[in-house]
Structure 1
Amino acid sequence: MTLAETHPEPALRGYLRADGRKGIRNTVVVAYLVECAHHVAREIAWPFRDADVHLIGFPGCFPNAYAQRMMEALCTHPNVGAVLLLSLGCESFDKYGLAHAVRQSGRPVETIVIQATGGTRRSIAEGQAWIETQRAALDAAETVPMAVSELIVGTVCGGSDGTSGITGNPAAGRAFDMLIEDGAACIFEETGELIGCEHIMASRAITPDLAGILEQSVAKAARYYATLGYGSFAPGNADGGLSTIEEKSMGAYAKSGSSPISGLLKPADRPPRGGLYLLDVVPDGEVRFGFPNINDTAEIAELIACGSHAVLFVTGRGSVVGSAISPVVKICANPETYRRMADDMDVDAGRILEGLASLDDVGREIRDLVLSLAQGARTKSEELGHREFALTYKSFEPIGPACLPAA
C-alpha cells in the first residue's frame, strides 16, 4: 500500500477564479473609499449580514499608494466573488483604478457614487438591489477540488500573556510545519515582536542574502519603535505575566514553527509558492504615520491582502475579533481564559499547560481545523458575525528579488 493510500490528501473544495486561484469562501465585498461613504456602505451590507456580504473600507480622504494596493489585493482576494464600491464622489481615492483591477480579475464590480446617485436613500436602494443579484449568482456557483498546496495561511498573536509562548504560539508553529510539509504557504509577522530573535530567525533563511534582509527588517522595527518612544509591549501583556519585550518576542517567534524561511513579504505581496514567509508590517522610510498597526485587526487585514485564506489568531488574555473576507481561527493559550470565553475560541491550547495534550496534538488539531474550513466548516468568529476591519495610512518600498529567492 502506498503512502498516498495510507495518508490520502483531504478532499478540499474551492471556488475557482479567473486567475486560477481558488477561494474557500464566496463573499461579496462592500468597500467604502472614504469615511464619508462608510454609513451608506454599512446600511447596504447590514440586511445581508448572514449572507456572506462583508464590509471593508479606507477612511482617508487623501490618496495613499499603500491603501490603494491593499484595497486592490483585498477586493481581488480568492475568497471574494463580487465587489461593490461606495464613493462619496470628491475623495482622492482612485476608484476607477480599483474598479478596473477588480474587473480585470474577472469579478463583477459596481461603483456607486453617492453625490451622483442622489444621496443616502437612493444609494442604499441601488446597492442592495445589486447585491441581491450578485448574491443569487454566487450562491449558485459550484466548487472544484482544491489541494492543500493551494492554501495560504497567516498567523498573528494578540492579547498575549505568560502562556502564549509556551502553548498557543508553538502549537500554531507545529500546525504551520504540517501545512508547509503538504505544500501550503504560511505567513507569520510582525517584525516589531521579533526583536531579540532576529539572528536565530536569520539562521533559518534559505539564502544568506535573505538572512540579511530578515535581520534588517527587525532592525528597522527597532528604530521605528525607538523613534516613537514605545515598544510592542502593552500593559495587558505585563498584567498577563510577561516581563520584557524579549520574552514576548520569544513567544511570538514560536508561532513561526521550524521550517526554513523562504522569503520576506510586505503587505499585499503574495507568496510565489509554498513555504514559510515573514511579513514585514513596519513602514519604510521616516516615521510619518505613527503606530505601525493601530490594532490586531489591521495586521489581520495585511495577512489577508497577502492572500491568506484563513488566519490563526493566538491569544492568552482573550480576544473576540474576527475579520472580513477570510475566517479567523481563535487559538486560546490560557486554559482559564478558554473556560471563560469558550464561545469565542476554536482551539483550547491551554490543555498543553494542564498536561492533557501535547504540542503535536494541538498542532494537528489546528491543521485539521484549517483544512475543514475548505470543506464547509466555519469558525466561532464567523458564526458570531465578527467581521472587524481596519486600514490606515502607511508607506512601503517594493521588495527586491533577494526577498523571494524561492520564486
Structure 2
Amino acid sequence: MPTRVLLRDVALHLNDRDEVAVALRPLPAGTLIDLGPGPGPGTEPLTLPADIPRSHKFALAAIAAGAQVHKYGQPIGRATAYIAAGEHVHSQNLGMDDTSRAHEFGTSRTELAVPSEPMPTFLGYPRADGRAGTRNFVGILTSVNCSATAANLIAEAFRGFALDEFENVDGVMALTHQSGCGLVPTSEGAQVLLRTLRGYAAHPNFGGLLVVGLGCEMVPVESLVTGYDLPTDTLVSTMNIQGEGGVRATVKEGIARIRAMLPELNKRTRIPISVSELVLGLNCGGSDGFSGITANPALGVASDLLVAYGATSVLAETPEVFGAEHLLTSRAVSPAVGQRLLDRIEWWQGYAKQGGGSLDNNPSPGNKAGGLTTILEKSLGAVAKAGQADLSAVYEYAERITERGLVFMDTPGYDPVSVTGIIAGGATVVCFTTGRGSVFGSKPTPSIKLATNSETFNRMPDDMDLNAGRIVDGTASLAEVGAEIFDLIIRVASGEQTVSEELGVGQEEFIPWQFGTVT
C-alpha cells in the first residue's frame, strides 16, 4: 500500500493561485497526497510519479506546455513541456517567462505601525559625525594592491593576545584589494573604487585608520582621507612604502603607529544609543527553496520593526531582484525613486548582454540543487528580506546612505562584492540568509547568519547564528522568528560576537566591485 498523507503535512501551498507546492521533506515516488477540501488547484488525490527532494516543487494539477507557473502568487516561469499532476517541477520542465511586468509607482505603500513599546537602545559607539558604530576597529586601508602585503604583515602583529590589554578595541584588520593603479582616473571603475575606499575610511566602526600606499599609484593615499566627510574623531595616519624606505621599514613603522593609537581608542566605551541609528544590511547567499518562505520573510519582519523605529535597512543585489522589481516600485515613495530602480535594472541587462550573458542565467547550480529554478523564483524570495516598508531611496554602489527607512543599493549578486558596497555605504550590522550554507563574514561590520532550514543549521552549527527553519518545522511562527532576529540584531550591535566573528572570518571578504578600463 502506498503511503497516504495530507498535503499540509508534507508540503507548503503558499498561495491559492499557485499550481505548485514545496516539499517540506523528501517525498518518495508513489506517495499518495490528499489535497484536502477547500480552495486550490484541485481536490483529487495525486500520486507522486518520482521522488521529490526537500524544498523542491511539485505540481498540484496538470500544467499545459507554455502555461505560466506561479509561486507566492506570482509567475516564476513557463512550463517548457506538459507537466502531469504530482510531477517534479524544475529545470527539466520549467523555463524563463519573458512576459513584461507592469511597473506601478507608489500604489502599494504601507504605513508601518509604530511599536507601542519605548524606543529600544543598543550599546554602541557615538561618532563625531552623528553616526553610531557597533564595533571599534583599527583599519589598515590600502590605496593600491602594491601595499597589500605590507598591510597584512602589519595586521598580523595584532592577532592573538596582542590586544588583550585593550578590551575596548575589537581588532586590527587589513583592507586589501586588487586595484588602485592601471586605471583611467576619471573612469566609472576608478570612481567606484575611490567611493568604496572612502566609504570604509569614514565607516563608524573604524575608530582608527592607517592608510598605506606605495607612493606612485593613481589612487594616492591622501585622496582617501581628505576632501570628504571623514569623522573628526577618527585617528588617521598615512604612509607610503617608497617614502618609508621599503616594506620592512613600512611594516615596522606601521605597527608603531597603530600601537600609538590603541590607548586612545581603548578609552572609548559603549553607551546606550537609539536603534533608530542602526543601518542594517540585507543579503542572501546559497539560497534554496525555503529561503523565500523562512529566513527571508522573517528577516523582513525584523527589518520592518527597525524601519518603524526610524532606522535604515538596505536591500541590494540588483540581479537578484530582477523579476520582482515590480513589488518594490509599487512601494516607492515617489515615481523618481521607482524609476531609479528600473534604470539600474536596465543598466544591468545591458551589462550582462555585453558579457555574453543575461540576468536569467541565474540561479547558480547550488541554488538549483536547493530547489530554485528561475531567476524569477529566486528574486521573489529575495525581496522578502525587505519586509513591507516603503522604498525611500535607491543608491549607487558604495554611495553614502543618508535616507532613513528601507533603501536599495545597486550591487552585484556576488556576496562579498555586494556586502562590501553595503558596508561602504554605512551598514553597521549585516543579516545574511543562507539555505545551502554560506560561511560569509564581513569585518568591520558583524554579519549575522540566518539558516533557512534546520538541516543546514544542524549540519553547520559553528557557522550559523539562528535557525529560521523552525518555521517550516512548525515549531516557531514567522512573527516569532522575526522578533528573535530583531533581538539578535540589538545584541550583536551591542557587542555580542557572531559566529563568523568568533571564527575570524571577514577580512578577506573585502572585495570592491571592479569593472571598466584597465591600462
- 1:124-146 Cα offsets, whole Å, 9 max, x none, are 11111111121222112133331
Aligned match of 1:62: 182
Pick aligned residue for 2:511 from 390, 397, 403: 390
Equivalent pair of 1:164/1:251 in contact (CA under 8 Å): yes
Q: 1:100 is matched with which residue? A: 226
- Given candidates 156, 166, 173, the residue that maps to 1:46 is 156
Q: Distance in 1 between matches of 2:264 and 2:329?
A: 47
CA distance in 1 between partners of 2:238 and 2:415 (Å): 29
Q: 1:160 to 1:307 in 2, by over 3 A?
A: same
Contact 1:14 1:24 in 2 (8 A): yes
Name the counterpart of 1:400. Answer: none
Kept in 2, the 8 Å contact 1:114–1:123? The answer is: yes
Residue in 1 that maps onto 2:97: none
Deviation at 1:360, TM superposition (A): 1.0
Q: Encode CA deviations 1:113-159: one digit per residue, 9 max, x unaligned.
A: 11221222211111111111212221121333311111110111111
Question: Quick check: 2:201–2:209 contact (8 Å CA) kept in 1?
Answer: yes
Q: Is the 8 A contact 2:283 2:432 kept in 1?
A: yes
Q: Are 1:116 and 2:243 an aligned pair?
A: yes
Aligned twin of 2:377: 247
SS of 1:15's equivalent?
strand
2:362 to 232, 237, 258: 232
Alignment check: 8 A CA contact 2:115 2:308 kept: no
SS of residue in 2 equivalent to 1:352 = helix
2:477 matches 1:367: no
| 1:19 corresponds to which of 104, 129, 133 | 129
Give matches, 1:101-250, under 5 Å. 101=227, 104-106=230-232, 107-228=234-355, 229-230=357-358, 231-250=361-380
> Is 1:303 matched up with 2:303?
no
Do 1:158 and 1:314's aligned partners in 2 also have CA atoms closer than 8 Å? yes
Q: Given residue 47 of structure 1, which amino acid in structure 2 is its aligned partner?
A: A
Q: Describe how 1:224-373 pairs up with structure 2 within 5 A.
A: 224-228=351-355, 229-230=357-358, 231-281=361-411, 292=412, 295-373=414-492
Q: 1 CA distance for matches of 2:394 and 2:115?
A: 36
Output the amino acid matched with 2:440. Answer: V
Q: How far apart are 1:173 and its partner, in Å?
A: 0.9
The 1-side partners of 2:493 and 2:391 are apart by 25
Structure 1 residue ranges, 4+ long, deviating more than 6 angstroms after superposition: none
**Structure 2: unaligned runs, 5 residues or longer:** 1-113, 164-170, 184-189
Residue 89 (str. 1) matches residue 215 (str. 2): yes
Paired residue secondary structure (2:226): helix
- 1:10 deviates by 3.0
| Alignment-mate amino acid for residue 209 of structure 2 | V
Deviation at 1:346, TM superposition (A): 0.7
In 1, the alpha carbon distance for the partners of 2:201 and 2:474 equals 44
Cα deviation code 1:234-272 (max 9, x no counterpart) = 111111111111111111111111111111111232333
Q: Is the 8 A contact 1:176 1:256 kept in 2?
A: yes
Question: Cα distance, 1:177 vs. partner?
Answer: 0.7
- SS of equivalent residue, structure 2 residue 386: coil
Report how far residue 162 of structure 1 moved. Answer: 1.3
SS at match of 2:157: helix
Q: Secondary structure at the match of 2:173?
A: strand
Distance of aligned partners of 1:102 and 1:126 in 2 relative to their CA distance in 1, 3 Å threshold:
farther
Q: CA RMSD in A?
A: 2.1
Distance 1:343 1:136, change over 3 A: same
Pick closer, same or farther for the CA change 1:53–1:161 going to 2, 3 Å.
Answer: same
Q: Tell me the CA shift for residue 280 of structure 1.
A: 1.3
Worse overlay, 199-208 or 173-182: 199-208
Aligned partner of residue 324 in structure 1, secondary structure: coil
CA offsets, 1:257-308, max 9 Å, x none?
1111111111232333421001112xxxxxxxxxx46x31111111111111
- How far is the alpha carbon of 1:17 from its aligned partner? 1.8
Higher relative contact order (CA 8 A, sep 6+): 1
1:171-205: CA deviation from partner (whole Å, max 9, x where unpaired) = 11111111111111101012211111122221111
Are the counterparts in 1 of residues 302 and 482 from structure 2 also a CA contact under 8 Å?
yes
Q: Which amino acid in structure 2 is aligned with residue 62 of structure 1? A: G
The answer for the alignment partner of 2:9 in structure 1 is none
SS in structure 2 opposite 1:267?
coil
Please give the alpha-carbon distance, in whole angstroms, between the structure 2 residues aligned to 1:337 and 1:79.
Answer: 31
The code of the aligned residue for 1:117 comes to E
Partner Cα separation in structure 2 for residue 308 and residue 347 of structure 1:
20
Aligned to 1:401: none
SS, match of residue 208 in structure 2: strand
Q: 2: distance between equivalents of 1:370 and 1:62?
A: 41
Structure 2 distance, partners of 1:384, 1:251, is 29
Indicate the larger mover: 311-320 or 55-64. 55-64
Segment of structure 1 superposing worse, 102-111 or 256-265: 102-111
Structure 1 residue 102, shift from structure 2 partner: 7.8
Kept in 2: contact 1:57–1:391 (CA 8 A): no
Alignment coverage as a number of residue pairs: 382
Q: Does 1:32 align with 2:162?
A: no
Equivalent pair of 1:56/1:324 in contact (CA under 8 Å): no
**Could you say if the C-alpha distance between residues 76 and 104 of structure 1 is closer, same or farther in structure 2, counting changes exceeding 3 Å?**
closer
Q: Percent of counterpart pairs with the same letter?
A: 41
Give the structure with the larger helix fraction: 1
Using structure 2 for the length normalisation, give the TM-score: 0.70
Give deviations 1:317-374, integer Å, cap 9, x for gaps: 0111201211101011121111111111111011111111111111111111111123
Do structure 1's residue 381 and structure 2's residue 493 form an aligned pair? Answer: no
Alpha-carbon distance in 2 for matches of 1:35, 1:271 = 27
User: CA separation in 1, counterparts of 2:230 and 2:490?
Assistant: 29
Partner SS state of residue 473, structure 2? coil
